[in-house]
Structure 1
Amino acid sequence: MNNIKMIALDMDGTLLHDDHSLSEMNANTIREVAAQGVEIVLCTGRSPVSTLPYLDKLGLEGVVITHNGAATVASKDKSMLHQFELSQMDLEPYLTYCNEEKVHYDINTAFDLYVNQVDLLSADWLNTYKQFLIEPKNFPGWDNLASPVLKLTMSGYKEDIDRVQQALSLWDHKVQFIRSGDFFIDIMHKEATKGNALKQLTQLRGISSDNVMAVGNYYNDMTMIQFAGIGVAMDNSPIDVKAAADEVTLSNNDDGVHAVLKKYFLS
Structure 2
Amino acid sequence: MAYKLVALDVDGTLLNDDHEITEKTRNTVMEAAKQGVEIVLCTGRGPLNSIPFMKSMGLGGYVISHNGAATVEVETQKIVHQFGMDPLQLEPFMKYCREHGVHFDVNTAFEMYVDQVEELAGPVRFMYENYLMLPSNLPAWEELSGPVVKLTAFGESADMDRVYGDWSKWNLPLNMLRSGEFFIDLMHRDASKGNALKQLAANRGYQQEEVLAIGNYFNDITMLTFAGMGIAMDNSPVEVKAAANAVTTSNNEDGVHEALVKYCLS
Q: Same fold (TM over 0.5)?
A: yes
Distance (whole Å) between structure 2 residues aligned to residue 125 and residue 160 of structure 1: 14
Alignment of 1:226-265 (within 5 A): 226-265=225-264
Structure 1 residue 15: Cα displacement: 0.7
SS in 2 for 1:45: coil
Structure 2 counterpart of 1:191: 190
Per the alignment, residue 165 of structure 1 pairs with: 164
- Corresponding letter in the other structure for 1:178: L
Q: Which amino acid aligns with 1:28?
A: N
Report the Cα offset of residue 92 of structure 1. Answer: 1.3
2:155 counterpart residue number: 156
Once the two structures are TM-superposed, the CA of residue 99 in structure 1 deviates from its matched residue by 1.1
For residue 62 of structure 2, what is the amino acid of its counterpart?
Answer: V
The letter of the residue matching 1:195 is G
Match runs of 1:14-25 below 5 Å:
14-25=13-24
Q: Provide the secondary structure at the position in 1 that maps to 2:50.
A: helix
Q: What count of residue pairs does the alignment treat as equivalent? A: 266
Q: Separation in 2 of the partners of 1:80 and 1:10?
A: 19
Match of 1:223 in 2: 222
Q: Find the aligned partners of 1:237 and 1:164 in 2 and give their Cα distance.
A: 22
Secondary structure at 2:96's aligned position in 1?
A: helix
In structure 1, runs of 5+ residues without a counterpart are none
Distance in 2 (CA, whole Å) between partners of 1:40 and 1:94 is: 35
**Percent of counterpart pairs with the same letter?**
53
Q: Which moved more, 1:167-176 or 1:237-246?
A: 167-176
Q: For the residues of structure 1 that align with 2:149 and 2:264, how far apart are their CA atoms?
A: 35
Task: For structure 2, list consecutive stretches of 5 or more residues without a partner in the other structure.
Answer: none
Partner of 2:110: 111
Cα distance in 1 for residues equivalent to 2:25 and 2:193: 22
1:147 alignment partner in structure 2: 146
Q: CA deviation at 1:127?
A: 2.1
1:50-65 superposed matches below 5 A = 50-65=49-64
> Counterpart amino acid of 2:38?
E
Query: What RMSD in Å do the two structures reach over aligned CA positions?
Result: 0.8
What is the rounded CA distance, in whole Å, between the counterparts of 1:217 and 1:184 in structure 2?
14
